[in-house]
Amino acid sequence: MEVLSPYKEATEVILEAGGEPLKLCYQCGLCTGTCPWNMVRSFLVRRIMHEAQLGAVDFGSEDVWTCVTCKACVDRCPRGVEIIDVMRALRRAVASLGIGVVPDALRISAKNIAGVGNPLGEPPERRNDWAKDLKVKDFAKGTEVLYFPCCVPSYDPGVKNVARSVAAIFDRLKIDYGLIGTEAKCCGEAIRKAGYEETFQSLAQNNIDLFTSNGVKTVVVSSPHCYHTFKAEYPELGGEFEVLHIAQYLASLIDKGKLKLSKELNKKVVYSDPCYLGRHNHIYDEPREILKAIPGLELLEFPDARENGLCCGGGGGRIWMDTPKGERFSDIRVEQAAEMGADIIAVACPYCVLNYTDSVLSMGKAETMQVKDIAELVAEAM
């Protein structure tokens, strides 16, 4: 029989890596019951917390990499355990100390980010190529708004249109905005959650220096992940600027009457809350207000919307890792949307765009269902 002995040194490593909250866990199991993974496979969050308490974690297990950091569990944990911090601590222990095994896909993305500043491994100088033909100006001192699109829309041909839509909207509204030079790097949110703390620190420092030296006051972002790290994590490292998610920015323009949507869109649209916009940052209403402002659009709601929203599966670095068919949350969402008769799944996060598009294609639903970022819908409706 396998006999366990508490392994204090391992617990200490986890604690030092930021796992301190694990002490509070009293093993009720609510997190396991809440975690969406258990819809598709077994993922005993409670058990991981206890193994971490005893230093009995199997660092070689894929469980270390499973959490999508969707925050569903954290919001409900009766002891207020920052479960994501514990998950991150386990990954840090692996990534920095080399105790276990980092999944291949993640290792490659991590290497890309550290090397060229984006997970796709694209050349840095092509970061702003998506806007080549749009004559967007470079950010200069005094420019009102910096638009920071996220690596995915910047490089991924399938998601480029998200950034291009934002540019189109800004141009039409004559907003004084610019793009920062190609020295910008990945925001680092996801790689940090994946345990690569040093990489994150250097990315963040690079961006903070860049923004500060350029006199950036306001950043508008397309990704809730950039939003989260700029807003919650950069200030601790000295990066202080106003951060707005595009949904907030557009909603306020609509509210002020500056943005008018006139083209009808006679479609049923269901909005999927991105975890980092919703649970992590409590932005639920603005995206919906924008969608409601589009004439003809019928807004549908998932049965588990807002605080209970299902993750697309892309958080916590999972966007770079392979999730086998049958375990993809985005497949569940697409299925739900189809049942509701939705024509479009609207999202507000580039990771969601990637995952849902992938699901729609692989599930053979491309003829009947589209995946669109709200910026794309707005641009079309202007």
Partner 1 sequence: MEEIRTGVYICHCGLNIAGVVDVEEVAKYAGQLPGVVVSREYRYMCSDPGQDLIKDDIKELGVNRVVVASCSPRMHEPTFRKAVEDGGLNPYLYEHANIREHCSWVHDDKELATNKAKDLVRAAVRRVCRHEPLVVREAPFTPSVLVIGGGIAGMQAALDIANGHQKVYLVERDPSIGGHMAQLDRTFPTLDCSECILTPKMSDVGHHPFIELHTYSEVEEVSGSIGSFKVKIRKKARYVDESKCVGCGDCEEKCPWKVPSEYEMGLAKRGVIYIPFAQAIPNVATIDGEHCVYLQKGKCRACEKACEAGAIDFEQKDEIIEVEVGAIIVATGYDQFDPAVISQYGYRRFDNVLTGLEFERLTCAAGPTEGKILLKDGREPESVALVHCVGSRDQNYHEYCSRVCCMYALKYAHLAKELTKADVYQFYIDMRCFGEGYEEFYNRLSEEGVNFIRGKVAKITDDAVTDEEKGKLVVVSEDTLLGKLIRVPVDMVILCSALQPRADAENVGKILNINRRADGFFLERHVKLDPVATPTDGIFIAGCCEAPRDIPDTVAQAEATAAKALSLISRGTVTLEAAISTVDESICHGCGRCEEVCPFSAPSIVSKNGVMVSEINEALCKGCGACAVICPTGAVTIKHFTQDEILAQVDALTEAR
- The binder of 2, among ligand SF4, partner 1, none, by C-beta within 5 to 8 A per type, is partner 1
Residue 72 binding: pick among partner 1, ligand SF4, none (C-beta 5-8 Å cut-off by kind): ligand SF4
Q: Considering beta carbons, is residue 79 or 217 the nearer one to partner 1?
A: 79
Which of 79, 160, 292, 306 contacts ligand SF4 by CB under 6 A? 79
Give whichever of 78 and 238 is closer to partner 1, judged by the CB atom.
78
Binding partner of residue 53 among partner 1, ligand SF4, none, CB cut-off 5 to 8 Å per kind: partner 1
Cα–Cα distance measured from residue 321 to residue 343, given in angstroms and rounded to the nearest whole number = 28
Beta pairing, strands 268-271 & 177-178: unpaired
Binding-site partner at residue 272 among partner 1, ligand SF4, none, CB < 5 to 8 Å by type: none
**Nearer residue to partner 1 within complex by CB, 20 or 129:** 20
Q: DSSP characters for 108-169? A: HHHHHHHHHSSTT---GGGTTGGGGGGTPPBP-TT-SEEEE--HHHHH-TTTHHHHHHHHHH
Residue 299 touches which of partner 1, ligand SF4, none (Cβ within 5-8 Å per kind): none
List interacting residues with partner 1 (CB under 8 A).
1-6, 8, 23-27, 46-47, 50-51, 53-54, 56, 79
Q: CA 334, CA 9: separation in Å to the nearest integer?
A: 45
Binding to ligand SF4 (CB under 6 A) within 30-49 occurs at 30-31, 34-35, 37, 45-46, 49
From the CB of 79, what's the least distance to partner 1, in Å? 7
Partner from partner 1, ligand SF4, none contacting 8, C-beta within 5 to 8 A by type: partner 1
Say how many residues touch ligand SF4, by CB under 6 A: 26
Gap between the Cα atoms of 349 and 333, Å rounded = 15
Phi-psi region of 372 (alpha: psi -120 to 50; beta: other; left: phi over 0): beta
Nearest CA among 322, 321, 323, 312 for reference residue 355: 312
Tell me whether residue 79 or residue 306 sits nearer to partner 1 (CB atom). 79
**Residue 3 binds: one of ligand SF4, partner 1, none (C-beta under 5 to 8 A by kind):** partner 1
Q: Of residues 57, 67, 186, 294, which one binds ligand SF4 by CB under 6 A?
A: 67
Of 68 and 204, nearer to ligand SF4 (C-beta) is 68
Minimum distance from residue 45 beta carbon to ligand SF4 (Å): 5
176: Cβ–Cβ under 8 A, 6 or more apart, which residues? 143, 144, 145
DSSP 8-class letter at 65: G
Token readout for 169 is 């909207």
The residues facing 244 across adjacent strands are 220
Assess contact for 347 and 373: CB atoms under 8 A: yes
Cα-based distances in Å from 177 to 183, 201, 240, 304, 309: 18, 27, 18, 36, 32
Phi, psi dihedrals of residue 374, rounded to the nearest 5° = -60, -30
The CB density around residue 17, as the number of other CB atoms within 10 Å, is 22
The Cβ of residue 131 has, within 10 Å, a number of other Cβ atoms equal to 19
What is the rounded CA–CA span in Å between residue 207 and residue 194?
19
Q: Minimum CB separation from partner 1 for residue 46, in Å?
A: 7
Q: Name the residue nearer to partner 1 (CB basis): 32 or 223.
A: 32
Residue 56 contact among partner 1, ligand SF4, none, beta carbon within 5 to 8 Å by kind: partner 1
Choice between 7 and 241, CB closer to partner 1: 7
Pick one of 15, 83, 190, 203: the residue that binds ligand SF4 (CB under 6 A).
83
Assess 71 for contact with ligand SF4 (CB under 6 A): yes
Q: Return residues touching ligand SF4 (CB under 6 A).
A: 25-31, 34-35, 37, 45-46, 49, 67-73, 77-79, 81, 83-84
